[in-house]
Amino acid sequence: MSRLVRLEVDGGIGTIRLDRPPMNALNIQVQEELRAAAHEATTREDVRAVVIYGGEKVFAAGADIKEMAGMGYAAMAARAVALSGAFDAVARIPKPVVAAITGWALGGGCELALTADWRVAAEDATLGQPEITLGIIPGAGGTQRLARLLGPARAKDLVMSGRRVPAPEALAMGLVDRVVPRDEVYRAALELVRPYVNGPAQALRAAKQAIDGGLDMDLASGLAWESQLFAALFATEDKAEGMAAFVEKRAPKFEGR
């Protein structure tokens, strides 16, 4: 089988590129190749930041409904866990991640975008969770990540109505972080994460772990988690370099160690 997802690395930035024309429908092969690409981006030292990109025309228009239509409860009970796990692997990449959204980001496509730390969308992009119109609900993190990002009321609006949200409205509600012309989406995504390429990789990893992990804890537990991660960074070379550079009034040269 041809590869439908690939990791392309250039200048410290890894692009997880979906390539299943015409709509990048998310079937089982795409699901598992996303998982593999996420693991590769996580482990490769030459990848310091990540862009998720579906191409100039479409990010991902959703799950492969033809593949799902014939599945019953037993089959989907097994696949649902694997699907959620594949998307979670993307969400857990311990590096800055941005989704570059063109065209449609619907259903599973929107859920994939939600795994990123930030979202850059084209002016004519459309996002949404239309699963309710098929008699189901999002199954790859949509109900959970939307509620954490937008709050429960707005998450219920999008999930229970299934309505499609144009990019300007998505920006206003916080579903995306930046809206640019279509032909500038990928470049804008690269520019958003480029400053992190030469940053302190261990501190960036800890920052992401502290924020994402803390969302699932009460305040006292979150503060303890933060303290643990904070103290651990005092064992890194980048901490020594950063503080030496500050004292010596020069720019730090981080190595990511």
Catalytic residues: 111, 131
Dist CA 203 CA 197 (whole Å): 13
- Closest residue by Cα to residue 194 from 67, 50, 61: 50
Half-sphere exposure (CA, 13 Å, Cβ side) for 55? 15
Burial of 15 (C-beta count, 10 Å sphere; 0-12/13-18/19+) = buried
Q: Which two tokens stand for residue 92?
A: 């857990």
Gap between the Cα atoms of 91 and 140, Å rounded:
11
Q: Which two tokens stand for residue 10?
A: 């250039």
- Sole residue written with tokens 């998720």: 52
Closest among 53, 47, 51, 1 to 24, alpha carbons compared: 53
Question: Residue 211: which of 151, 147, 254, 148 has the closest Cα?
Answer: 148
- 3-class DSSP state for residue 145? helix
